[in-house]
Amino acid sequence: MARLGNPELATPTIHVAGSKGKGSSSAMIASVLTAAGLRTGLFTSPHLHRITERIRVDMNEISTDRFSALIEELWPDVEAVEQRGDVGKVSVFELLTAMSFKEFRSVKADVQVIEVGLGGRLDATNLVAPDVAVITPISLDHTAVLGDTVPKIAFEKAGIIKPGVPVVVGNQAPAARPVIEEVAWQRGSKVTYAHDRLAIVRKPEQATTAYGKLVQCLALKSSLNTYELELPLAGPHQVDNVITAIAAVETFNSERNLTISADSVSRGIAAVRWPARAEVLTSPDDDVQIIVDGAHNSSSAAALVSTLESLFPSATRPVVMYAGSGGHDFAATAREFSRLNPRVIVTRTRHPKAVSAETVAEALRRDTVPVAAVTPDVESALREARAIASTGDVIVATGSLFLAAEVREILLSITPELYPDLRGEMMPAYEIPALIAPAQDPEDQTGLGSRHGAL
């Protein structure tokens, strides 16, 4: 960063850490700030379909040309750092982080929303000097790196707290609270619990837009404003996330002496698009509903189960397509679905971090999670799921964001990125035709469409 003129310090910053909800919360914050007329940078990870998704300006992902140009601009500095010989090689994530800071400075962003990659204290993003730090719910995840208890993980997440910088905390685990509060006290930082700042004055109700989108209609009230919201993300946990996001925006508003109106907040929340988070890919009149979700730890899986129960109360015995990735406790995640008595189809994604279907299935069986089938790839798993499902059933693809992405690619006819495997060969893409052309929705900013017919 010093070689680049410290671009991480050039832009006012909201820094977001947590075990779950940090991506959704970051997207909501950035969408609101964009709606308020601020030039807004957003850096998130991982990506679903294209690596360019990780760097956004005003919610639009960076172009492939600009992405390539940034790599070329930074490459001499990457080589210079590596040639020092005392800090090792620059990782892909470190390079992407540097690219985002440089891009946001280049476009003269008014604010940057930076999502932590892993942990917080030692994360590459922790070079920022934030105006607001945000910590979303903390749970057991990446335990081999961050620690095997919630307090240990909370200490790592609390590492983003900077001296005198206000901290907004989401719906937090009791074991995490004292750790966060202790670190904040040591650094002279005020802690605000989002749910203390905002109250629900009208409970969420499900509604469907003219284009078949599910939204949650609710109203929130703080000491500053009342917010009438249409939240296009499903599940009670997303209500928690929107409370955290608005509390962060209000705090940033105060720190920067801005005037972000309630109308800007409402428009920003209504416009947020964050795929693969309890995302329903089917239309309400389809005979089988297909949902994708990137839940990769037990807490996220529990939130998904609650969402399924609220969205589809009459559905029983869902068909669960499940895949695991290295570094996650996939057995503990799958266990959360047991109360739904699911029919589980284990598969493997093409991502290099994917764990073999046989290994995942063995772990699930040891944990008394029943496995109905094991398939070699996502395409065959989806066909198996559709064959098993009957009218009125629900198919859920989860356990890995990479699985959610591949199912979206198949159903929405999205051309996937290819990853080189460890032998340097290219792993194959799906060689299947578009199953159903996605219906175009003028509200869909991704251009990918949000509905399709039965598979």
What amino acid is encoded at 134 in this protein?
A: V
pTM of this prediction exceeds 0.75: yes
- In terms of phi and psi (left: phi > 0; alpha: psi -120 to 50; beta: otherwise), the region of 177 is alpha
Q: What is the pLDDT of residue 437?
A: 34
Q: Where are the beta strands (DSSP E) in 308-391?
A: 319-322, 343-346, 373-374
How many CB atoms sit inside 10 A of residue 218's CB?
20
Q: Is residue 26 part of a domain?
A: yes
Joined together, the tokens standing for residue 90 give 């620059």
- Is the pLDDT at 433 greater than 70? The verdict is no
DSSP class per residue in 401-441: HHHHHHHHHHHTTPPPP--B-TTSPBPPPP----SSPPBP-
Mutual orientation of helices 236-255 and 22-35 as an angle, nearest 10°?
50
Residue 394 lies in a domain: yes
User: Which residue range(s) make up the domain with 91?
Assistant: 7-194
Residue 447: pLDDT above 50? no
Query: Does pLDDT of 330 surpass 90?
Result: no
**Partner residues linked to 134 by β-bridges:** 16, 168
Q: Is the pLDDT of residue 211 over 70?
A: no
Q: Are the CB atoms for 33 and 111 separated by under 8 Å?
A: yes
**Domain identity same for 122 and 23:** yes
Which of 154, 180, 145, 155 is CA-nearest to residue 166? 180
* Residue 419 scores a pLDDT above 90: no
254 occurs within a structural domain: no
Of the candidates 350, 291, 359, the residue with the CA atom closest to the CA atom of residue 328: 359
Residue 124 within any structural domain of the chain = yes
Q: Which of 199, 183, 157, 175 is nearest to 20 (CA)?
A: 157
Nearest to 351 by CA among 283, 295, 414, 422: 422
Quick one: pLDDT at residue 333?
Answer: 80
- pLDDT at residue 143 above 70? no
CA distances from 178 to 154, 159, 183, 205, 299 (A): 9, 14, 9, 34, 20
Expressed in angstroms, the distance from the first to the final Cα of the chain is: 48
pLDDT above 70: residue 144: no
Strand partners, 280: 291
Query: What is the spatial distance between Cα 182 and Cα 432, in angstroms, rounded to a whole number?
Result: 54
User: Structure tokens of 354?
Assistant: 């994917």
Mean pLDDT for all residues in the chain = 88
**Do 162 and 20 share a structural domain?**
yes
**177 and 78, same domain (yes or no):** yes
- Listed residues 194, 227, 247: the one ending a domain: 194
CATH at residue 336: 3.90.190.20
- Residue 147 vs residues 142, 309, 423: alpha-carbon distances, Å: 8, 32, 32
The CATH number that applies at residue 31 is: 3.40.1190.10
Q: What is the token pair recorded at 162?
A: 């900077």
450 belongs to a structural domain: no
CA 76 to chain centre: 32
296 and 172 within one domain: no
Q: Which of 204, 26, 206 is nearest to 100 (CA)?
A: 26
> What is the percent of the chain with per-residue pLDDT over 70, rounded to a whole number?
90
Select the more confidently predicted residue: 428 or 195. Answer: 195
- How many domains are there within the chain? 2
